[in-house]
Amino acid sequence: MDGVEEQNRKKRYRNWIKGGLGLKYLKNGLEDFCDEMVKQQHRNLKKTVEEKINVSDIQCSSCNVSTLQPNHVKVKGKCPLFHIKCNCLHPGGNKMCPHNVCGVMYDEIIRLHASNPPCPNWKNTNSKRWCTDPWSVAKCFINASGYEEKSSASEIDCSGLLHVFLNSKGMRSLLTFSSTGPNVFAKALQSRNFILHSAKMELSDEEVKEHIENMIDVLKECTQLNSRKEASEAIENLVQIQNQDISFSTQTEGEILQSANAAMENRMKDMEEKMVEIQNELVEIKNARVFQQEHISYLNKKQAFQQGLINLYMERVVKVSPLPLQSDRHCTDIGQLYASPWMTFSLIDENLDRDERNVSVSRDVLVKSSNDIFYKNGTKNPKRLYIRGSRLRKKCILQIYCTRLVLSTLTVQWKRSPSTRCKR
């Protein structure tokens, strides 16, 4: 039984080597074509920037992408291009391109990124070479790290080439597909990750067949690619390893293992960078949480203080004795003892002198609430307020009205029906 299992394991390992060899053939079929498409994308990008800034030949070799000021500004705290790590979100210390070139190219690279939201990988690029090196722009579309020093398709692995086709709208706009569309690049990239990230380095017969089929689709479905000589040769090699039990040398096996090891190292590096970012975000979240808790504690104390004032006013201010001369009697809510005073107000023209005001006739308006006195059309109305009437009546009105005003301020609703109106 152990011998059978060992044979099966070796077979699955050979299938894994087949998958790695298939990635090598796929890269051979894509290299030259990818170089040409990257150069064409770069020409189109330069033309777009030249038209926007009205310059015949853009040149700049002095800007650093980490401190580059984009050609746009944030709106309401967000990037208008929806890039979550855009330089516009942290404008402090950013520098404008002296030739007004790199900021525009920065914006256009974001617009060309096909993901939602767009996420160019600025760590892979050197913005000082944007105007002269097509691959310095193309590497912005490779999500993984480790491509900073690469300058051609021959130096970039299969994963990087697939990323460029998959994430660049500029590249995809140059291609036409017979049936499946650009999704073939996504499937091939998934196959690549499945093969090279396999911990046991094993594939079943069905798995290796499916993954090699995904690689063949990339070379066959793209109209501009399937007629090229290198693509046809790659397809023949892929079909051969898919249908036959081929032998491979120790050198080939070593190359596949080195490719898998490099892929694992790059994946570890990406995950470590993400862990650092997550840890930094976690620190920010914890600090924000502490600040919010302190503010919540302050608001709770503030609300408790307000409630204490309300209770004090309700006990000492808005409650009165039914008999003013016997203040030691049981006190009750003023709303149960006094009716709202009958008050009207008249609008007097401030431009008139005293004699003219006395003879000026205006229509009295019934006062229903304090807003009728202090506000007009939603804005504060009088600067001075005059109350006319007998001394006793004025004093009574002021006492009752001010007490009722305190009561309403404490959000205690006072309701009085016509049948309970008191006459004094």
Average pLDDT for runs of 10 along the chain of length 424 = 76 91 94 95 95 91 94 93 93 92 96 93 94 95 89 92 94 85 89 91 92 93 89 93 82 88 85 88 91 92 88 74 65 68 66 59 64 67 62 59 58 37 34
Sequence-ordered alpha helix ranges (H) in 320-420: 354-359, 370-374, 391-409
pTM here? 0.68
Burial of 238 (0-12, 13-18, 19+ CB in 10 A): buried
Residue spans of the domains in the chain: they are: 2-248, 264-316, 319-420
| Measured distance CA(303)–CA(290) in Å, rounded | 20
Is residue 38 within 8 A of residue 138, CB to CB? The reply is yes
| Measured distance CA(420)–CA(416) in Å, rounded | 7
Is residue 270 within 8 A of residue 145, CB to CB? The reply is yes
Output the pLDDT for position 414.
33
Output the pLDDT for position 10.
87
Is the alpha carbon torsion for 115, 117, 122, 124 positive or negative?
negative
Longest CA span, the chain: 122
What b-and-e string marks burial along 339-374, b requiring 16 or more CB atoms within 10 Å of the CB?
A: ebbebebeeeeeeeeeeeeeeeeeeeeebeeeeebe
Output the pLDDT for position 412.
41
